[in-house]
Amino acid sequence: MVAPPQEFEKDPMPSIKKINSEWVAIVPYAFIASNDATVRFGSDRQWWGERKEGVIKSIQLAKANELKIMIKPQIWMHGNWIGEMDFEVEDDWKDWEESYERYIMTFVDLAIDMDVEMICVGTEIEIASKKRESYWRKLISKIREKYNGEITYSSNWDSYKNIPFWDALDYIGISAYFPLSEAITPNVYYLKYKWGGVKKRLKKFSKHHNKPILFTEYGYLSVDGCAYKTWELEKKRRELPANEKAQSNALEALYSSFWDESWWAGGFLWKWYPNGVAQEGRRAKDYTPQGKMSERTIKKWYQKSMK
C-alpha cells in the first residue's frame, strides 16, 4: 500500500479486503544521499504515511479489517538505486550500518508492540547484503531475540542467488520482476511458457535452502510491453500507450504458473493507492490494478486462497 502524504480521508482497507486480500505490506521509507552514509527517516518533511504515526494508523486499520501485515522498511537513495550502494571506507560502512539498524529496529519494536505478523529486514540492498554478511546475521539475530513474527529479506529478481543469509530467515523474498516477453500485449500461454524455466530454477533454489519463496514484490505497469524490463519501462511510461489487457494477462500468467506450487508462499502486489488516489497523477499507466481489468483478475485468484 502506497503511503499517503496526509492522513487518510477514509479507511482504505475495505477496498483491499474487497479483492480478497489477506495481507497488506506497509512501507515506511527512509532516505540516503548518494554522498552520505546516514539513513534518515521519520522526518516531518516525509509523507505522513511513511512516518511512525502513519504506520501505526495503517496497522490499526488493517487489523480492524482482519488483514495480516508485513512491515517493509525500504530506502530511497537519491540519484541511484540502493542495490548499488557501496563504500570504500570502513567507517562509512559502520555509519551506515548503525543508522540502518536504528531504522529497522524502530519498526521491529513497533511490530512487537502491535503484534505485526511479518517484518522485512531489507529491500534490494544487494551489494551490502553480499559484502557485509556478518552485519546482516547479527541484525537478524538481534531481531529474533525479541520478535516472534516471521522475517524475510527482499532481493531483486536477478540477485537472490547472491544473498548469503537465507538460512537465517523464514522466507526467500524476491522482487519478482523477471523479464518475460517484449510483446505489446503478451499472450497468457506464452508467458506461462516463459515462466517455466524461472519456476524450475526457483523450485530448485527453494528445495536447496529448504525455505518457501515469497514474492515480496510483484506487479506490472498497465502499458504496452509490461512483461519485459519494467525498470526501463518506468522511465518512458509517458510515451507508452496504456494497456490494461497486457497487465491483466501478465498477472493471470503469474498466478496460474505459481498458485498450486507448495514451495511458493504467495506475494505482495506492487502497488495499491489508498482510496484510489495516485499522487503522481499517473495511475492509468501505473502498477496499481485499481479500476482496471487486472483488479478482476486478482479478485478471482485471491478468492481461491479463501476456500
Confirm whether 1 is domain-assigned: yes
Confirm whether 226 is domain-assigned: no
The CATH number covering residue 92 comes to: 3.20.20.80
Confirm whether 307 is domain-assigned: no
- In angstroms, the CA 28 to CA 42 distance is 8
Mean of pLDDT over the chain = 95
Confirm whether 224 is domain-assigned: no
Indicate left, alpha or beta for 301 from its phi (over 0: left) and psi (-120 to 50: alpha). Answer: alpha
With a CB cutoff of 8 Å and minimum separation 6, the contacts of 114 are 56, 59, 60, 63
Q: What is the pLDDT of residues 162-218, one digit of tens each?
A: 999 999 999 999 999 999 999 999 999 999 999 999 999 999 999 999 999 999 999
Confirm whether 78 is domain-assigned: yes
What is the distance in angstroms between the CA of the first residue and the CA of the last residue of the chain? 25
Confirm whether 162 is domain-assigned: yes
For the chain, the domain total comes to: 1
Q: What is the pLDDT of residues 211-246, one digit of tens each?
A: 999 999 999 999 999 999 999 999 999 899 999 999
Confirm whether 242 is domain-assigned: no
Provide the pLDDT confidence category of residue 279 given band limits of 50, 70 and 90. Answer: very low
Residue 129 is part of which domain span? 1-175
Confirm whether 138 is domain-assigned: yes
Q: Cell 540492498: give the residue.
A: 125
